[in-house]
Amino acid sequence: MASAKTAIFIQKSLLGKVDDLAREMKVSRSRVFAIAVEEYLQRHQNRRLLAELNRAYEDEPTPEEQEYLERMRHQRISREG
């Protein structure tokens, strides 16, 4: 995997916490930043997917879908009764 070098500006107190975590994890500071960015990007992608799913299901069922749901409920009640 190809790597690229970059520079960022963060508060010294935050950098200190990153250094502490890097020592605890026994990885480099760069690796801590890479892990953090990977996790952030995954969470962001998950939030986008959830928003898309919510948009897809926000409308009311069509009459055909509603009829199907009613039949399914009736079948489940008949089996349980």
For residues 28 and 18, the answer to whether their CB atoms sit within 8 Å is no
pLDDT at residue 78, as a whole number: 67
Q: How confident is the model at residue 1 (pLDDT cuts 50, 70, 90)?
A: confident
Letter string b/e over residues 35-72, b meaning 16 or more CB atoms within 10 A of that residue's CB: eeeeeeeeeeeeeeeeeeeeeeeeeeeeeeeeeeeeee
Calculate mean pLDDT across residues 69-79.
80
Higher pLDDT, 56 or 76: 56
* Threshold 0.85, pTM exceeds: no
